[in-house]
């Protein structure tokens, strides 16, 4: 038998340095004795003997070992079928055990030329269905197709449980010029662990987790796990259809932000963590009790360090294994939807950690990040910054966002640290950053990414929310892309949060000198679609719990916190509150301990929880509190100038201007007689009072309400005379 075996190719395959071992291995058409035949070559280290099993002619032919390392060659006659379907490899290992297998190098790539072209253009939004590990049936044999983008690698082997972490027989094939490596491994199965063993151009070998892996080992272990995502049966059709048909910005939104590992804990679980399914039932019951419309989960993608709270992500496509499997997490989302609760997650495209098994220098080069540390390293967090100007990196991030919306039915993404993405000089001194092509500080590539992300998310998944944590005055964050904006649905109002908390920390006797801090937000309240956040950031790093930040003695701290929440819930904008704040937890948040649920045995803490429940129900029941959150048409000051008494009064309107509510706030611990002008001669029923004894207040109020009088006040012909409770908010509905 004479064949043209490329000896240098054999050597490179055995050494593991061949970037496309398929040029040597697998089936190759040759001419033998004037007839066309099929030469099959295989590299199977650790084998005693290998045979070709001719499926068409039912013949078994021994293969010739042409290198002692385990390199074989054999001939198979060509029949009427395709060469890659004509044979199997029968392998006897060193222990004499015999198995039959599909030849990995006889299987055509899963990715098409069009897939690779779109990925190179940065527009293959479903690339996660091609890259990574995907179960595949080839000629009746089930295996796993592995694919990874690593254009600068010298060679790559896929290693795992299926080959005892010896990748010599599973060297991947490189598709040039895309830089994508691919291989079908017939021995691989769901549940097995794997990594990519990458030989960089400098000859160093590194084992990397799969950037597109759907699941991973429980940290601190770092291998990816072969997973099928299509096994879960969804039953949230009504929710999904309603979500697509409705405008979420005209709906009530009250978000309960939580960290799954510390909301509630179970000593029976690993590190005290509960499973996603357990959490599902308990969090739904709790949201139904407290009235929150959505939950927002701190990052649930896989992250190596629990103390990063998920904001230093390694497995962007992998649900964290801390709390269960992908099916478990789908159960959580599905159960929330069945009970009318939306699910938002935090998404972190701003940076990624330097862990060796992750994205950093993935193929031995700066692939996902910039080579220049002035562009590629974040000075505050010790992390790497994505190279948004690279098409494939931008595609990776946008496809990841769409993946969560598609595969997990997520209702929205809160994008973390947007400000750090928008500015090239973010947290950098002079000389530590590189200007854009126009000499400016704006990160044009990141702007392109954010606009493309928002455009695709809203086009492909109508009704989802995209929310920016953006702390600067960047214009048009929540304005449409076609109008020059970034395209987000909502922007966190960090200015409102900072000003309001600063005001609430002042002793009430001094608040008249800081009146502008509580009113300033209404000057710009309608320049963006704002959400009002009191997030986890406000109860960490030595800031203390919210109740501890309030001014005054114990009674005043609780009254101030009730006042803060009531003012927040009646202020224009969607709402977000971090877990534990709704019960006035005293401790600063600790990710290794659960909320101080035992505090609920005290009336003032239980009263705070009841207050939040009633505020959420008021929000859902009163269109004037949610329908016109982003336009001055929905808000009108009655009195914002009474700094001496530290009082405020305003009106909130629904789309139907005949539907409105009057809100009055007293930011001092003094009961005040307060005459306030009103638009109509009516009976004003008191429908909410944060000073109610039901919430732990002093029960000062105007129950059941007050009749308007023809006494001019605040530029109006009618007015009502109220008793304003101390440190409280009251809401009145006119009844004509």
DSSP code of residue 17: -
Q: Shortest CA distance to 487 belongs to which of 446, 454, 530, 527?
A: 454
Identify the bridge partners of residue 88 per DSSP, sorted by sequence position: 53
Per the CB < 8 A criterion, the answer to whether 165 and 211 are in contact is no
Cα-only R_g, the chain:
31
Question: Other C-beta atoms within 10 Å of 657: how many?
Answer: 12
Per the CB < 8 A criterion, the answer to whether 603 and 696 are in contact is yes
Identify the bridge partners of residue 412 per DSSP, sorted by sequence position: 344, 465
Q: How far is CA 542 from the centre of its chain?
A: 26
Q: Is 604 helix (H, G, I), strand (E, B) or coil?
A: helix
| Ramachandran region, residue 572 (left: φ > 0; alpha: ψ -120 to 50; beta: rest) | beta
Query: What does the chain come to in residues?
Result: 736
Whether 469 is catalytic is: yes
**Which tokens belong to 180?**
């994508």
Q: Is 341 helix (H, G, I), strand (E, B) or coil?
A: coil
Q: Is the link from the previous residue into 603 a cis peptide, with omega within 30 of 0? A: no
- Catalytic: which of 182, 416, 452, 629? 416
| Ramachandran region, residue 452 (left: φ > 0; alpha: ψ -120 to 50; beta: rest) | alpha
Whether 416 is catalytic is: yes
Alpha helices in 294-352 (DSSP H): 326-338
DSSP code of residue 335: H
| Ramachandran region, residue 310 (left: φ > 0; alpha: ψ -120 to 50; beta: rest) | left
Q: Is 10 helix (H, G, I), strand (E, B) or coil?
A: helix
Residue 155: burial class (beta carbons within 10 Å; 0-12, 13-18, 19+): buried
Q: Distance between CA atoms of 27 and 400, rounded to whole angstroms? A: 36
DSSP code of residue 386: B
Residue with tokens 């000859």: 203
Work out whether strand 728-735 and strand 683-689 pair parallel, antiparallel, or are unpaired: antiparallel
Q: Distance between CA atoms of 195 and 463, rounded to whole angstroms? A: 37
Identify the bridge partners of residue 534 per DSSP, sorted by sequence position: 577
Per the CB < 8 A criterion, the answer to whether 409 and 415 are in contact is no
- Catalytic: which of 182, 346, 469, 582? 469
First to last CA, the chain: 102
Q: Distance between CA atoms of 276 and 282, rounded to whole angstroms? A: 10
Q: Distance between CA atoms of 257 and 127, rounded to whole angstroms? A: 30
Q: Distance between CA atoms of 68 and 342, rounded to whole angstroms? A: 61
Which residues are CB-neighbours of 133 under 8 A, at least 6 positions away?
Answer: 144, 145, 146, 188, 194, 210, 212, 213, 214, 224, 226, 227
DSSP code of residue 301: E
**Which tokens belong to 565?**
């929440």
3-state helix, strand, coil in the chain (%, to 5): 30, 25, 45
DSSP code of residue 260: T
**Which tokens belong to 659?**
């539907």
DSSP code of residue 99: E
Kindly list the catalytic residues: 416, 469
């Amino acid at each position: 038998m004479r064949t043209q075996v490329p000896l240098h190719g054999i050597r490179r395959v055995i050494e593991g340095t061949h970037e496309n071992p398929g040029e040597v291995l697998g089936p190759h058409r040759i001419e033998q004795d004037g007839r066309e035949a099929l030469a099959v070559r295989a590299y199977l280290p650790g084998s005693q003997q290998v045979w070709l099993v001719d499926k068409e002619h039912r013949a078994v032919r021994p293969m010739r070992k042409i290198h002692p390392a385990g390199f074989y060659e054999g001939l198979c006659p060509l029949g009427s079928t395709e060469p890659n379907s004509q044979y199997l490899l029968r392998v006897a290992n060193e222990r004499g055990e015999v198995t039959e297998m599909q030849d990995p190098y006889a299987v055509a790539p899963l990715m098409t030329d069009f897939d690779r072209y779109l990925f190179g253009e940065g527009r293959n939004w479903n690339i996660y269905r091609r890259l990574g590990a995907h179960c595949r049936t080839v000629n009746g044999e089930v295996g796993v197709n592995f694919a990874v983008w690593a254009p600068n690698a010298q060679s790559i082997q896929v290693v795992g449980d299926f080959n005892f972490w010896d990748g010599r027989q599973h060297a991947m094939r490189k598709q040039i010029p895309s830089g994508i490596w691919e291989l079908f491994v017939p021995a691989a199965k769901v549940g097995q662990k794997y990594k990519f063993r990458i030989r960089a151009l400098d000859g160093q070998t590194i084992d990397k987790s799969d950037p597109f892996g759907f699941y991973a080992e429980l940290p601190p272990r770092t291998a990816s796990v072969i997973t099928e995502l299509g096994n879960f049966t969804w039953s949230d059709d009504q929710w999904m259809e309603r979500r697509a048909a409705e405008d979420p910005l005209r709906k009530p939104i009250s978000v309960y932000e939580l960290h799954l590992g510390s909301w509630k804990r179970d000593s029976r679980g690993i590190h005290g963590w509960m499973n996603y399914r357990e959490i599902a039932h308990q969090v739904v019951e709790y949201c139904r009790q407290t009235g929150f419309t959505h939950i927002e989960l701190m990052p649930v993608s896989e992250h190596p360090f629990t103390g990063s709270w998920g904001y230093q992500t390694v497995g962007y496509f992998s649900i964290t294994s801390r709390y269960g499997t992908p099916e478990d997490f789908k159960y959580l989302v599905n159960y929330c939807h069945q009970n009318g609760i939306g699910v938002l997650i935090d998404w972190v495209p701003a940076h990624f950690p330097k862990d060796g098994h992750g994205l950093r220098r993935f193929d031995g080069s700066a692939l996902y990040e910039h080579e220049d540390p002035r562009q590629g390293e974040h000075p505050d967090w010790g992390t790497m910054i994505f190279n948004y100007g690279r098409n494939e990196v931008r595609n990776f991030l946008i496809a990841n966002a769409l993946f969560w919306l598609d595969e997990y039915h997520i209702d929205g993404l809160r994008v973390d640290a947007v400000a750090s993405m928008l500015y090239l000089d973010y947290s950098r001194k002079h000389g530590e950053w590189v200007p854009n092509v126009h000499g400016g500080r704006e990160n044009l590539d990141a702007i392109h990414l954010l606009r493309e992300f928002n455009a695709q998310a809203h086009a492909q998944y109508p009704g989802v929310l995209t929310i920016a944590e953006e702390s600067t005055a960047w214009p048009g964050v929540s304005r449409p892309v076609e109008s020059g904006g970034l395209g987000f649905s909502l922007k966190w109002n960090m200015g409102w949060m900072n000003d309001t908390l600063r005001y609430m920390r002042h002793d009430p006797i001094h608040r008249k000198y800081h009146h502008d801090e509580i009113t300033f937000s209404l000057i710009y309240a309608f320049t963006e679609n704002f959400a009002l956040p009191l997030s986890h950031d406000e109860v960490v790093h030595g800031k203390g719990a919210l109740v501890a930040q309030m001014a005054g003695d114990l009674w005043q701290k609780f009254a101030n916190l009730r006042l803060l929440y009531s003012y927040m819930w009646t202020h224009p904008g969607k709402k977000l509150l971090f877990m534990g704040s709704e019960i006035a937890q005293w401790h600063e948040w600790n990710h290794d301990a659960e909320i101080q649920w035992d505090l609920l045995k005290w009336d003032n803490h239980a009263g705070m929880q009841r207050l939040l429940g009633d505020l959420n129900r008021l929000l859902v029941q009163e269109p004037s509190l949610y329908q016109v959150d982003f336009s001055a048409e929905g808000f009108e000051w009655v009195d914002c100038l009474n700094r001496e008494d530290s009082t405020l009064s305003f009106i909130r309107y629904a789309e139907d201007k005949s539907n409105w509510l009057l809100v009055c706030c007293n930011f001092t611990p003094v009961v005040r007689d307060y005459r306030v002008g009103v638009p109509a001669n009516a009976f004003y029923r008191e429908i909410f009072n944060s000073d109610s004894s039901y919430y732990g207040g002093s029960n000062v109020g105007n129950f059941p309400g007050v009749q308007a009088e023809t006494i001019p006040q605040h530029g109006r012909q009618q007015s009502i005379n109220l008793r304003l409770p101390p440190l409280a908010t009251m809401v009145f509905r006119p009844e004509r």
